[in-house]
Structure 1
Amino acid sequence: MIDHAHDLASVQEATDRLLTAVAELDNASVARPSRLPGWTVGHVLAHLARNADALTNVLDGRPMYVSGEARDADIARDAPRPLDAQLADLRESDARFRVRGAAPADWARTVELRNGVTDSAARVPFRRWGEVELHHVDLGIGYELEDVPADFTEREIDFLADRFLAHPDVPATRITDGTRAWRTGRQAPRPEVTVTGRPADLLGWLAGRRAGTALEVLGGPLPALPPL
């Protein structure tokens, strides 16, 4: 059962952690490379701010972005800003998202995201939570997947495993941390591959943040996953 109110509160907590950490940086840090290829720390911060506005658009029934080109141009425009401008933008865009999320709404309605993807409105706060947590890690400023709240990690593994479910290019795969188990990939009577590891390592592999070298794989090589 999706609890959008819980997830909105979690977005606020995650954003507060992010803002506190980023406030310790300086202007030179904004220009250094992040963990995302081709993006500086400033690109990641700009993306987080624009994503908050984009998901506000989704909840308002508007297109998430005007276009993919406009999205990329906005991030490139905002990336070089000094730290105080980045922080102010993050605070303001987060506040707009949370005000919209607190307004009365039909949370069971279907909304449209990018590239024709649809979801329930109630899952939008969780999607924002994921953006904040994973991109906090991407900044490379000391926040790691091991630091992410355990309840988010479990739910994001479930979300990503479901995303790749029935994907023709992913073998039928059982994923387990030794206690919980998920299925992903092609549908088959039995999994072709079993992937076992710590939750943080499983999340890192599924989310494209780790190569999976810390995982144990039985039945074949570690499946190559499509980009998110």
Structure 2
Amino acid sequence: MIDHAHDLASVQDATERLLTAVAGLDNAAVAEPSRLPGWSRGHVLAHLARNADALVNVLEGRPMYASAEARDGDIERDAPRPLDAHLADLRDSAAGFRATGEAPADWSRTVELRNGVTDSAARVPFRRWAEVELHHVDLGIGYELEDVPADFTERYIDFLAARFSGLADVPPTLLTDGTRAWHTGRDSDRPEVTVTGTPADLLGWLAGRRDGTSLTVKGDALPKLPPL
């Protein structure tokens, strides 16, 4: 069962870690490239702020973004701002998400995200938690997947393994860190590929943050996963 209150608290903790780390940058560092192709660190920070606003929209029954063009335009508009502006925006947008999440609501209801994707309202805080953790890593400022809380890593591997399950282009795949196992890919009684690695490396590959070269693959080549 999803504990949205726990996840809201985890979002707050992750946000504080992010804000502390970002506060140690300067304007020049914000303008430098992030680990995401074509995006500066300012783009990542702008996206994080606007994503918080967008998830407030989702929880309040409005479209997540006015349009894909509006989403991209807002990020491009906000990316070049100085560090202080980014920090203030991150704090304000995080506070808005937290206030909306703490308001009385029916957490069992279904909400709509981007591109027609639907989910339980109770999972929205976890989705925000994922945004904060992964994009903190994307900034390339010393926070790595190995630093992400272990309970988040396990849950996000669960989430992504389920997301890629049933896809015809992904062979039946067993994922394991040596103690736990997950199944993904198209339906089959027997996996065609077994992928073994640390939780951080498995998460990095599933989330498109690592190329999988550190993983051990048996049975066939490492499957190609669709983008998130």
What TM-score bracket applies, with the shorter chain setting the length? Answer: over 0.9
How high is the sequence identity, in percent, across the aligned residues?
Answer: 81
Runs of at least 5 residues in structure 2 that lack an aligned partner in the other structure = none
- Say whether residues 1:212 and 2:208 are aligned partners: no
What residue ranges of structure 1 are gaps of 5+ in the alignment?
none
SS at match of 1:46: helix
How much does 1:189 deviate?
1.3
* Structure 1 runs, 4 residues or longer, greater than 3 Å off: none
Alignment partners' CA distance in 2, 1:193 and 1:66: 41
Q: Which residue of 2 aligns with 1:137?
A: 137
Q: Is the partner of 1:194 in helix, strand or coil? A: strand
Task: Return the alpha-carbon distance in structure 2 between the equivalents of residues 183 and 171 of structure 1.
Answer: 10
Match of 1:162 in 2: 162
TM-score relative to the length of structure 2: 1.00
| Residue deviations 1:77-115 (CA, integer Å, cap 9, x gap) | 000000000000000000000000000000000000000
Letter in structure 2 aligned against 1:188: S
Structure 1 counterpart of 2:24: 24
Q: Which SS does the other structure have where 1:6 is aligned?
A: helix
Residue 160 of structure 1, CA deviation = 0.3
- The TM-score normalised by the length of structure 1 is 1.00
Matched residues, number? 228
Whether 1:187 aligns to 2:192 is: no
Deviation string 1:120-153 (CA, Å, 9 cap, x unpaired) is: 0000000000000000000000000000000000
Residues 33-71 of structure 1 show CA distances to partners (whole Å, capped at 9, x for unaligned) of 000000000000000000000000000000000000000
Distance, in Å, in 1 between the alignment partners of 2:193 and 2:13 is 37
Q: For 1:180 and 1:108, how far apart are their aligned partners in 2?
A: 29
Cα distance between partner residues in 1 of 2:180 and 2:126: 21
- Equivalent AA in structure 2 for residue 72 of structure 1: D
What per-residue deviation string (whole Å, max 9, x for no partner) do you get for residues 15-37 of structure 1? 00000000000000111000000
- Residue 3 of structure 2 aligns with an amino acid whose one-letter code is D
| 3-state DSSP of counterpart to 1:87 | helix
